[in-house]
Each structure stands twice: as structure tokens, then as C-alpha cells.
Structure 1
Amino acid sequence: MEKTTSKTTVWEYIKYGLFLLVTGVLSLYIVIAVFLPDQTVKIFGFKPYVVISQSMEPVIDRNDVVVVNDFAVEELKVGDIITFRTDINYDGEKEVVTHYIYSINKNNNNDYSFKTHRYFSSETEIVPDTWLLLEEDILGEYMFQLPAIGSIILFLQSPFGIVAMLVNIGIIVAVVILLKQGKKEREEFKKLQDEQEE
């Protein structure tokens, strides 16, 4: 009986330790994503972005999530998909865009600049985007996409979504606490019964 109890206790410590580790990493990721959003890829090696336009359909659909990784600028090639920040409306505000690389230029100071393009069904129709990107504008290189979950993420980032999420987290925490309390009370009651039977 003691061996079983000891194994159970060890396993509970391991589970608790893993829970703390995962919670700590997620919390660190969220803090960095909020306060240093453009550094997330550099620190963690990846970052997801929600696609909000139809410019890459049918390759990447609107509301897909693209996951990008860190990149070496000298390894980027024409035809690679990258995610970057640029002022697409020329209103002084930069948006996040995911497009193909159209051309790469390197000057005498070894500084890179890039032209991009949206999806075209035929190579003969390809027209480059109007903007010119520098290395610091690029957020990451495309790794893979998660279809259609972007709308959920955008909802969770909205004020209403944040309130709904906090309420649900509060309910889940309350349920877990009540279940643990109920389990403890049942164990104490069973222990009391066993003692009375002896």
C-alpha cells in the first residue's frame, strides 16, 4: 500500500512540474508576443500569423493561420513565401502580409531588398507588389498553415473575446477547485469510515 502511495505521489509531482513548465513557457511566449511582437520569431524560432486578405488564395486562404520560422536572409530564394510588415495602403500604418518573393537585390554594402507578389494562377501574369522590403521588414519564412482557425484567434483577440475567455477560465478554475475539494472530502469520509470499521 505504501509503495502505491509513493508512486502516486511521485507521479503527481511530475505532472505538477510539467504543468508549471508548460504554463511558464506559454506565459513567457504571451508576454513576449504582446510586448515584443516582432522579436517572437527570433526568440522562440516560430510565430503564427492570421491571414486577413485573399491575395494568396487558393494556396493560403483568408482566415488561415500561417506559422513562420526564423530565417537566414542569404538563404531566401525567389518563389519562397515570407511574412512581412509593409504599408500596403500608404496611410502610414504597416500591416502583416504573406506573399511570394518576386526578386532579391543585394547592394555593395551587402544590404538586401526584396520585391514580392501575390498568388497568380499563371507565371506569365505575375505582377510585383508596389512596395520594396528591407531585411528588417521580414517577420519570418513560411513553414506551414493551419486552415480556417484564424477567425477564432481574431475573435479571442477582440475585447468581447477576451472577456468571454476570462469568464470561461474563471469557470474552469472554479470547477477544478470544487472537484478537488469534493475528492478530498470523499477521501476524508472514506478514511473516517475505515477507522470506525476497525
Structure 2
Amino acid sequence: MKQKGKIAARVISFIILIFAIFIMIFTIISVSTVNKEDSSLFGYKPFIVLSDSMQGEFEAGDIVVSKEVDSSTLKEGDIITFRSIDPNNYGGVMTHKIREVTTYEGELAFTTYGIATGADDAYPVPADNVIGQYQFHLAKMGYFFQFLKTVPGYFLLIFTPFMILIIMQAIRFFQLLKQYKREQQEIINQNSEALEQEKLKTQQMQKELEMLKAQLAAEQNINQPLNSDEEDKKV
């Protein structure tokens, strides 16, 4: 059971770590690229969808990703992201479908529309205002990004996972420290027992040596009178 608990803790730590790394990478990329016309990631530019004018392809709250493209290669049916020249939304970024390749003030332009309404946009899109061609979208990730930028989002999705990891690693550290101290104490106890055994052996040897000395001394005392009698006879 103890081993299973360790494995489960490691799996949970790994999942939290992967999640935290994903959120961190997503945050860095998002903050530096989402809704920023002048920034891109390998030519790809993400934008948050603010309306349902393209419902059926993508919806409000999604993130659309468009890629930089040569405007001269665009054709009818392509979906493009562009800066609007409509006075009511001048400079606003939109992603609509091309209905027709046309001209505006003698330059290449595109008539666009939202597929949800089917109505053409009031003004064409000059080729210079094209930001990129739509590639794919991330469903509802716009809401996620907006939440991530809030204080609760930061604490819930960034701060909390890293704090959990830190706490789990701290618990792991103290467990290892406790185990290390226990092992060291066991080694000390083993060494103490070994020293005690050596001490007992030394004491036993000393007793045996003293007994041997006493025995030798006793034998010498017995032999000494005999030697004296023999000398008297010779005289």
C-alpha cells in the first residue's frame, strides 16, 4: 500500500507539472501574440472572436488562427482576417469569408461577408489590410484566455498548481530527510552494537589473559620449592 501511495503521488505530481507547464507556455504565447497584429508565431496570428457573424465555422469566444499570406493568392471562398475600413468599426480586426475578388480605389480588394447573416460587409477589404488567411480555430479558448488574464484566473490556473507542486516537493523533502535521519540512526546503532561486542570480546580476552597469567604464576610457585630441595641434596 505504501508503494502504491508513492506511485500515485508521483503520477499526480507529473500531471500537475505538465498542466502547469502547459498553462505557462500558453500564457506566454497568448500574452505576446493574441490580438496583436504585429506579432506572430512562425507566421501564425491568433485572434479572439467577438461575434457570431461566422457561426457555423467558428463562434464568439473561440480563438481563430490565421497565417500570413500573399494577398494576390487569395480567391473567392477563402476566409481572411483583416482590419476593417468601415467608419463604424475602423481598424477593428474581423475574420470573414471572401465573396468576390474586386478593386478599391484602383487597388486589389475583397468583398467579404459573415456566413451567419450572408450579408456583405459595408466596405471592401484592401489587400494591404489583410492580416492573414484563416487556418483553424480553438473552441472557447478566447474565454479561457480572458479568464487567465484576471486575478482569480492567475491564482487558480498558474499560482495554485505551482504552489501544490512546491508543497508536495516540500513534503517529499521532509520525508526523505526523516528517512535519512532514521537510516543514519540505524547505522549509529549498528556501529554501537558492533563496538559493544568488540568491547565485550576485549574484556573476555583480558579475563582469559589474566586467568592464564594467574595459572602460570601458580605453576611457578609450585616449582620453586622443588628446586630448593634439590640444591640442598647436592650440598
SS class of match (2:76): coil
1:144 is matched with which residue? 136
Change (3 A) 1:78 1:85: same
5+ long unaligned stretches in structure 2? 1-16, 188-235
1:32 is matched with which residue? 32
Deviations 1:130-165 (A, max 9, x none): 1122233222211112333433334444xxxx1112
TM-score, length basis structure 1: 0.67
Answer whether contact 2:83 2:90 (CA < 8 A) is retained.
no
SS class of match (1:182): helix
Aligned equivalents of 2:46, 2:25: Cα separation in 1: 19
Which runs of structure 2 are paired with 1:1-198 in the superposition (5 Å)? 27=28, 29-30=29-30, 32-33=32-33, 37-41=36-40, 43-88=41-86, 90-91=87-88, 93-105=90-102, 112-119=108-115, 127-157=119-149, 162-168=150-156, 169-198=158-187
Q: CA RMSD in A?
A: 3.3
Which one-letter code corresponds to 2:75 in the other structure?
A: K
Cα displacement (A) at 1:95: 2.0
SS class of match (2:39): helix
Answer whether contact 1:77 1:101 (CA < 8 A) is retained.
yes
Identical residues among aligned pairs (%): 25
1:8 is matched with which residue? none
The count of aligned residue pairs is: 166
5+ long unaligned stretches in structure 1? 1-15
Which one-letter code corresponds to 1:153 in the other structure?
A: F
Deviations 1:5-52 (A, max 9, x none): xxxxxxxxxxx9xx99x967963x356337x911223x5321222222
TM-score, length basis structure 2: 0.58
- Computing the radius of gyration from Cα coordinates, the structure with the larger value is 2
Kindly indicate which of the two structures has a greater share of residues assigned to helix: 2
SS class of match (1:39): coil
Answer whether contact 1:32 1:39 (CA < 8 A) is retained.
no
- The ranges of structure 1 where at least 4 consecutive aligned residues each deviate by more than 4 angstroms after the TM superposition are 22-26
